[in-house]
Amino acid sequence: MTSVCKGEVAVIIVNYNTGALALEAVESVFARNHGGWRIAVHLVDNASPNGDAALLATEIAARGWEGKITFYPETENYGFGRGNNLVLAALAARPAPPRYVFLLNPDARLQNETIKILADFLDARKKVDVAGPRIEKPGGVPSTAAFRFPGVISTFASALSFGPVARLLSRWQVPLAPEVPTGPVDWVSGAAVMLRMSAVEGAGFFDPSFFLYFEETDLMYRIKQQGGQVWHVADANVIHAQGASTDVQSGRRERRRLPAYWYHSWQHYFTKNYGRPKAFAAAAAWVVGAVFNCVLGALRGREPSYPLFFFEDFWAVAGRPLFGLNAIPYD
Protein backbone atom coordinates (compact mmCIF):
# COMPACT_ATOMS: atom_id res chain seq x y z
CA MET A 1 0.00 0.00 0.00
CA THR A 2 1.35 3.44 -0.96
CA SER A 3 1.20 5.96 1.90
CA VAL A 4 -0.38 9.33 1.25
CA CYS A 5 2.10 12.22 1.25
CA LYS A 6 1.09 14.80 3.85
CA GLY A 7 3.20 17.55 2.29
CA GLU A 8 6.77 18.79 2.11
CA VAL A 9 9.10 19.82 4.90
CA ALA A 10 12.31 21.56 3.82
CA VAL A 11 15.19 20.86 6.20
CA ILE A 12 17.82 23.63 6.23
CA ILE A 13 21.29 23.09 7.73
CA VAL A 14 23.77 25.99 7.67
CA ASN A 15 27.32 24.79 8.26
CA TYR A 16 30.44 26.67 9.33
CA ASN A 17 33.58 24.67 10.18
CA THR A 18 31.58 21.67 11.45
CA GLY A 19 31.43 19.54 8.30
CA ALA A 20 31.71 16.17 10.04
CA LEU A 21 28.93 17.10 12.44
CA ALA A 22 26.80 18.44 9.58
CA LEU A 23 27.02 15.03 7.90
CA GLU A 24 25.83 13.41 11.15
CA ALA A 25 22.92 15.86 11.25
CA VAL A 26 21.95 14.91 7.69
CA GLU A 27 22.27 11.20 8.54
CA SER A 28 19.95 11.66 11.52
CA VAL A 29 17.34 13.12 9.15
CA PHE A 30 17.66 10.34 6.58
CA ALA A 31 17.52 7.69 9.33
CA ARG A 32 13.88 8.59 10.17
CA ASN A 33 10.77 7.74 8.17
CA HIS A 34 8.94 11.04 8.94
CA GLY A 35 5.48 9.50 8.93
CA GLY A 36 4.38 10.43 5.44
CA TRP A 37 6.04 13.84 5.19
CA ARG A 38 8.24 14.38 2.13
CA ILE A 39 11.65 15.67 3.17
CA ALA A 40 13.98 17.87 1.10
CA VAL A 41 17.36 18.66 2.68
CA HIS A 42 19.15 21.94 1.91
CA LEU A 43 22.76 22.16 3.11
CA VAL A 44 24.56 25.51 3.11
CA ASP A 45 28.31 25.84 3.66
CA ASN A 46 28.99 29.38 4.87
CA ALA A 47 32.46 29.68 3.31
CA SER A 48 34.07 27.48 5.98
CA PRO A 49 37.81 28.25 5.96
CA ASN A 50 38.75 24.67 6.88
CA GLY A 51 37.72 23.12 3.56
CA ASP A 52 34.27 21.90 4.58
CA ALA A 53 32.74 22.73 1.18
CA ALA A 54 34.99 20.21 -0.58
CA LEU A 55 34.46 17.63 2.18
CA LEU A 56 30.68 17.97 2.02
CA ALA A 57 30.58 17.84 -1.78
CA THR A 58 32.72 14.69 -1.76
CA GLU A 59 30.65 12.99 0.93
CA ILE A 60 27.35 13.87 -0.74
CA ALA A 61 28.55 12.13 -3.91
CA ALA A 62 30.11 9.19 -2.06
CA ARG A 63 26.98 8.51 -0.03
CA GLY A 64 24.64 8.78 -3.01
CA TRP A 65 22.86 11.84 -1.68
CA GLU A 66 22.95 13.95 -4.86
CA GLY A 67 19.22 13.62 -5.50
CA LYS A 68 18.35 14.08 -1.83
CA ILE A 69 20.32 17.22 -0.95
CA THR A 70 20.51 20.66 -2.49
CA PHE A 71 24.01 21.92 -1.68
CA TYR A 72 24.98 25.60 -1.46
CA PRO A 73 28.79 26.03 -1.33
CA GLU A 74 28.97 29.75 -0.59
CA THR A 75 32.02 32.00 -0.91
CA GLU A 76 30.97 34.37 1.89
CA ASN A 77 30.09 33.70 5.53
CA TYR A 78 26.56 35.06 5.79
CA GLY A 79 25.93 34.11 9.40
CA PHE A 80 22.94 32.11 10.56
CA GLY A 81 20.01 34.24 9.45
CA ARG A 82 21.25 35.25 6.02
CA GLY A 83 22.50 31.71 5.40
CA ASN A 84 18.98 30.43 6.00
CA ASN A 85 17.54 33.30 3.95
CA LEU A 86 19.38 32.01 0.87
CA VAL A 87 17.30 28.85 1.00
CA LEU A 88 14.09 30.48 2.24
CA ALA A 89 14.09 32.94 -0.68
CA ALA A 90 14.63 30.11 -3.18
CA LEU A 91 11.82 28.09 -1.61
CA ALA A 92 9.43 31.07 -1.59
CA ALA A 93 10.09 31.64 -5.30
CA ARG A 94 8.90 28.14 -6.21
CA PRO A 95 5.39 27.71 -7.64
CA ALA A 96 4.60 25.42 -4.69
CA PRO A 97 6.72 26.24 -1.59
CA PRO A 98 6.97 23.63 1.19
CA ARG A 99 4.38 23.77 3.93
CA TYR A 100 7.00 23.84 6.68
CA VAL A 101 10.71 24.51 7.08
CA PHE A 102 12.79 22.80 9.74
CA LEU A 103 16.00 24.56 10.74
CA LEU A 104 18.61 22.22 12.18
CA ASN A 105 22.04 23.23 13.46
CA PRO A 106 24.95 21.22 12.02
CA ASP A 107 25.90 20.27 15.59
CA ALA A 108 22.42 18.87 16.32
CA ARG A 109 20.79 15.59 15.42
CA LEU A 110 17.34 14.04 15.64
CA GLN A 111 16.76 11.61 18.48
CA ASN A 112 13.27 10.51 17.43
CA GLU A 113 10.69 11.26 14.73
CA THR A 114 11.09 14.94 15.51
CA ILE A 115 10.08 16.20 12.08
CA LYS A 116 6.90 14.11 12.00
CA ILE A 117 5.95 15.12 15.54
CA LEU A 118 6.43 18.82 14.89
CA ALA A 119 4.81 18.82 11.42
CA ASP A 120 1.78 16.90 12.69
CA PHE A 121 1.58 19.28 15.65
CA LEU A 122 1.51 22.34 13.37
CA ASP A 123 -0.93 20.67 11.01
CA ALA A 124 -3.37 20.15 13.87
CA ARG A 125 -3.05 23.71 15.22
CA LYS A 126 -3.45 26.31 12.50
CA LYS A 127 -2.75 29.23 14.86
CA VAL A 128 0.67 27.84 15.80
CA ASP A 129 3.36 28.96 13.38
CA VAL A 130 6.52 27.83 15.22
CA ALA A 131 7.25 24.60 17.10
CA GLY A 132 10.49 23.64 18.83
CA PRO A 133 11.53 20.27 20.28
CA ARG A 134 12.97 19.27 23.63
CA ILE A 135 16.76 19.64 23.43
CA GLU A 136 19.37 17.61 25.26
CA LYS A 137 23.12 17.91 25.46
CA PRO A 138 25.27 14.91 24.51
CA GLY A 139 24.78 12.33 27.23
CA GLY A 140 21.09 13.11 27.60
CA VAL A 141 21.41 16.13 29.92
CA PRO A 142 18.35 18.41 29.47
CA SER A 143 19.15 21.77 27.88
CA THR A 144 17.13 24.96 27.79
CA ALA A 145 15.06 25.07 24.61
CA ALA A 146 12.28 27.57 25.39
CA PHE A 147 12.54 31.19 26.47
CA ARG A 148 10.86 34.45 27.41
CA PHE A 149 11.59 37.56 25.38
CA PRO A 150 14.40 39.61 26.98
CA GLY A 151 13.60 42.86 28.76
CA VAL A 152 15.03 45.42 31.16
CA ILE A 153 14.53 43.33 34.32
CA SER A 154 15.90 40.13 32.79
CA THR A 155 18.94 42.04 31.50
CA PHE A 156 19.66 43.39 34.99
CA ALA A 157 19.22 39.97 36.62
CA SER A 158 21.50 38.31 34.07
CA ALA A 159 24.22 40.94 34.46
CA LEU A 160 24.03 40.87 38.27
CA SER A 161 24.19 37.05 38.33
CA PHE A 162 23.40 36.80 42.05
CA GLY A 163 21.34 33.82 43.18
CA PRO A 164 18.94 35.47 45.66
CA VAL A 165 18.08 38.26 43.22
CA ALA A 166 17.81 35.82 40.31
CA ARG A 167 15.27 33.78 42.29
CA LEU A 168 13.34 36.92 43.24
CA LEU A 169 13.15 37.95 39.57
CA SER A 170 12.67 34.44 38.19
CA ARG A 171 9.38 35.27 36.45
CA TRP A 172 11.29 37.68 34.17
CA GLN A 173 14.31 35.48 33.46
CA VAL A 174 14.78 34.69 29.75
CA PRO A 175 15.55 30.92 29.96
CA LEU A 176 12.69 28.65 30.99
CA ALA A 177 13.28 25.35 32.77
CA PRO A 178 15.12 22.77 30.63
CA GLU A 179 12.25 20.30 31.07
CA VAL A 180 9.35 22.68 30.43
CA PRO A 181 6.19 20.82 29.31
CA THR A 182 4.50 21.23 25.95
CA GLY A 183 2.89 24.64 25.74
CA PRO A 184 3.06 28.19 24.33
CA VAL A 185 6.24 30.18 24.95
CA ASP A 186 7.76 33.43 23.67
CA TRP A 187 10.46 31.82 21.54
CA VAL A 188 12.32 28.55 21.09
CA SER A 189 15.91 27.66 20.25
CA GLY A 190 16.98 28.15 16.65
CA ALA A 191 19.18 25.03 16.94
CA ALA A 192 16.15 22.94 15.95
CA VAL A 193 12.86 24.59 15.08
CA MET A 194 10.00 24.08 12.63
CA LEU A 195 8.23 27.08 11.11
CA ARG A 196 5.19 27.45 8.93
CA MET A 197 6.53 28.67 5.59
CA SER A 198 3.69 31.15 5.05
CA ALA A 199 4.38 32.73 8.45
CA VAL A 200 8.11 33.06 7.78
CA GLU A 201 7.40 34.62 4.40
CA GLY A 202 4.82 36.95 5.94
CA ALA A 203 7.39 38.11 8.51
CA GLY A 204 9.95 38.82 5.79
CA PHE A 205 12.40 36.03 6.71
CA PHE A 206 15.36 36.67 9.00
CA ASP A 207 16.52 40.24 9.47
CA PRO A 208 19.84 40.36 7.55
CA SER A 209 21.22 42.95 9.99
CA PHE A 210 21.90 40.13 12.46
CA PHE A 211 25.04 38.11 11.81
CA LEU A 212 24.66 35.74 14.76
CA TYR A 213 22.56 35.77 17.93
CA PHE A 214 19.08 37.24 18.52
CA GLU A 215 18.07 36.58 14.90
CA GLU A 216 15.68 33.75 15.81
CA THR A 217 14.38 35.72 18.80
CA ASP A 218 13.65 38.63 16.47
CA LEU A 219 11.96 36.45 13.84
CA MET A 220 9.69 34.78 16.39
CA TYR A 221 8.88 38.16 17.93
CA ARG A 222 7.70 39.35 14.52
CA ILE A 223 5.75 36.15 13.87
CA LYS A 224 3.95 36.63 17.18
CA GLN A 225 3.30 40.29 16.32
CA GLN A 226 1.45 39.13 13.20
CA GLY A 227 -0.74 36.80 15.25
CA GLY A 228 1.16 33.50 15.22
CA GLN A 229 1.88 31.32 18.23
CA VAL A 230 5.16 29.70 19.28
CA TRP A 231 5.08 26.37 21.13
CA HIS A 232 7.58 24.10 22.81
CA VAL A 233 6.78 20.45 22.00
CA ALA A 234 8.32 18.15 24.60
CA ASP A 235 7.58 14.92 22.69
CA ALA A 236 10.05 15.84 19.94
CA ASN A 237 13.70 15.37 20.87
CA VAL A 238 17.02 16.65 19.52
CA ILE A 239 20.61 16.34 20.77
CA HIS A 240 22.63 19.56 20.47
CA ALA A 241 26.37 20.01 21.05
CA GLN A 242 25.99 23.70 21.82
CA GLY A 243 28.51 26.17 20.44
CA ALA A 244 30.47 23.86 18.16
CA SER A 245 30.72 26.52 15.43
CA THR A 246 31.20 29.69 17.50
CA ASP A 247 32.44 28.39 20.90
CA VAL A 248 30.56 31.27 22.51
CA GLN A 249 28.44 28.91 24.61
CA SER A 250 30.45 25.71 24.74
CA GLY A 251 29.96 25.11 28.47
CA ARG A 252 33.41 26.27 29.55
CA ARG A 253 33.41 28.24 32.77
CA GLU A 254 36.26 30.68 32.20
CA ARG A 255 35.47 34.25 31.23
CA ARG A 256 35.89 35.04 27.58
CA ARG A 257 35.50 38.05 25.35
CA LEU A 258 32.27 38.09 23.37
CA PRO A 259 32.56 38.77 19.63
CA ALA A 260 31.53 42.23 18.44
CA TYR A 261 28.56 40.83 16.53
CA TRP A 262 27.00 39.66 19.82
CA TYR A 263 26.83 43.23 21.14
CA HIS A 264 25.62 44.53 17.78
CA SER A 265 22.85 41.94 17.71
CA TRP A 266 21.80 42.78 21.27
CA GLN A 267 21.61 46.50 20.52
CA HIS A 268 19.80 45.99 17.20
CA TYR A 269 17.23 43.65 18.73
CA PHE A 270 16.30 46.02 21.56
CA THR A 271 16.29 49.19 19.49
CA LYS A 272 14.34 47.67 16.61
CA ASN A 273 11.65 45.89 18.62
CA TYR A 274 11.25 48.03 21.74
CA GLY A 275 12.43 51.48 20.69
CA ARG A 276 15.38 53.59 21.74
CA PRO A 277 14.08 54.53 25.24
CA LYS A 278 13.70 50.90 26.30
CA ALA A 279 17.04 50.04 24.67
CA PHE A 280 18.61 52.81 26.82
CA ALA A 281 16.93 51.37 29.90
CA ALA A 282 18.15 47.85 29.10
CA ALA A 283 21.68 49.14 28.48
CA ALA A 284 21.65 50.96 31.81
CA ALA A 285 20.32 47.83 33.53
CA TRP A 286 23.11 45.78 32.03
CA VAL A 287 25.86 48.23 33.09
CA VAL A 288 24.45 48.70 36.61
CA GLY A 289 24.04 44.94 37.03
CA ALA A 290 27.63 44.37 35.89
CA VAL A 291 28.94 46.99 38.32
CA PHE A 292 27.15 45.36 41.24
CA ASN A 293 28.37 41.96 40.04
CA CYS A 294 31.92 43.28 40.17
CA VAL A 295 31.40 44.61 43.72
CA LEU A 296 29.83 41.36 44.91
CA GLY A 297 32.64 39.39 43.33
CA ALA A 298 35.25 41.49 45.11
CA LEU A 299 33.48 41.05 48.46
CA ARG A 300 33.36 37.27 47.98
CA GLY A 301 36.87 37.02 46.54
CA ARG A 302 35.60 35.90 43.12
CA GLU A 303 36.03 37.08 39.58
CA PRO A 304 33.10 38.93 38.05
CA SER A 305 30.92 36.81 35.78
CA TYR A 306 30.46 39.25 32.93
CA PRO A 307 32.58 38.79 29.75
CA LEU A 308 36.13 40.03 29.48
CA PHE A 309 36.44 43.65 28.31
CA PHE A 310 32.69 43.98 28.84
CA PHE A 311 32.52 47.72 29.60
CA GLU A 312 34.84 48.74 26.75
CA ASP A 313 33.22 46.42 24.23
CA PHE A 314 29.66 47.23 25.27
CA TRP A 315 30.27 50.94 24.85
CA ALA A 316 32.14 50.55 21.55
CA VAL A 317 29.60 48.33 19.79
CA ALA A 318 26.24 48.61 21.59
CA GLY A 319 26.39 51.86 23.55
CA ARG A 320 27.65 54.31 20.94
CA PRO A 321 24.81 53.66 18.44
CA LEU A 322 22.26 54.46 21.18
CA PHE A 323 23.76 57.97 21.25
CA GLY A 324 23.78 58.30 17.47
CA LEU A 325 27.48 57.54 17.17
CA ASN A 326 29.12 54.95 14.91
CA ALA A 327 30.04 51.64 16.49
CA ILE A 328 33.71 50.78 16.79
CA PRO A 329 33.94 47.07 15.87
CA TYR A 330 36.85 44.86 16.80
CA ASP A 331 38.16 41.53 15.57
Note the CATH architecture for domain 7-145+180-240.
Answer: Alpha-Beta Complex (3.90)
Q: Looking at residues 222-249, what average pLDDT do you find?
A: 86
| pLDDT above 50 for 88 | yes
Q: Looking at residues 245-258, what average pLDDT do you find?
A: 64
Task: Give the model's confidence band at 243: pLDDT under 50 very low, under 70 low, under 90 confident, else very high.
Answer: low
Task: Give the model's confidence band at 251: pLDDT under 50 very low, under 70 low, under 90 confident, else very high.
Answer: very low
The beta strands (E) that lie in 7-158 are given as 7-15, 37-45, 69-73, 100-104, 108-110, 128-137, 141-143, 146-147
Q: What is the pTM of this model?
A: 0.93
pLDDT at 3: 65
For the chain, the domains span: 7-145+180-240, 151-172+254-331
Residue 130 to residue 187: CA distance in whole angstroms: 8
Characterize 86-125 residue by residue with b for buried, 16 or more Cβ atoms within 10 angstroms of its Cβ, and e for exposed.
bbbeebeeeeebbbbbbbbbbbbbbbebbbbbbbbbbeee
Q: Are strands 146-147 and 192-196 parallel, antiparallel or unpaired?
A: unpaired
pLDDT at 255: 84
Q: Looking at residues 167-182, what average pLDDT do you find?
A: 95
| Dihedral of the alpha carbons of 111, 35, 96, 214, in degrees to the nearest 10 | -20
Partners of 136 in the beta sheet? 142, 239
Task: Give the model's confidence band at 252: pLDDT under 50 very low, under 70 low, under 90 confident, else very high.
Answer: very low
Dump pLDDT digits (tens) for 302-317: 999 999 999 999 999 9
Phi, psi of 9 (to 5 degrees): -120, 120
DSSP string, 26-63: HHHHHTS-GGGEEEEEEEEE---TTSHHHHHHHHHHHT
Bigger pLDDT: 331 or 86?
Answer: 86
Residue 73 to residue 43: CA distance in whole angstroms: 8
3-state class (DSSP) for residue 108: strand
Task: Give the model's confidence band at 52: pLDDT under 50 very low, under 70 low, under 90 confident, else very high.
Answer: very high
| pLDDT above 50 for 265 | yes
Dump pLDDT digits (tens) for 209-219: 999 999 999 99
Question: What's the whole-number average pLDDT of the chain?
Answer: 94
pLDDT at 242: 73
Q: Evaluate whether 113 touches 32 at the Cβ level (below 8 Å).
A: yes
Dump pLDDT digits (tens) for 60-81: 999 999 999 999 999 999 999 9
pLDDT at 4: 79
Q: Evaluate whether 267 touches 321 at the Cβ level (below 8 Å).
A: yes
| pLDDT above 90 for 95 | yes
pLDDT at 1: 42
Q: Looking at residues 124-151, what average pLDDT do you find?
A: 96
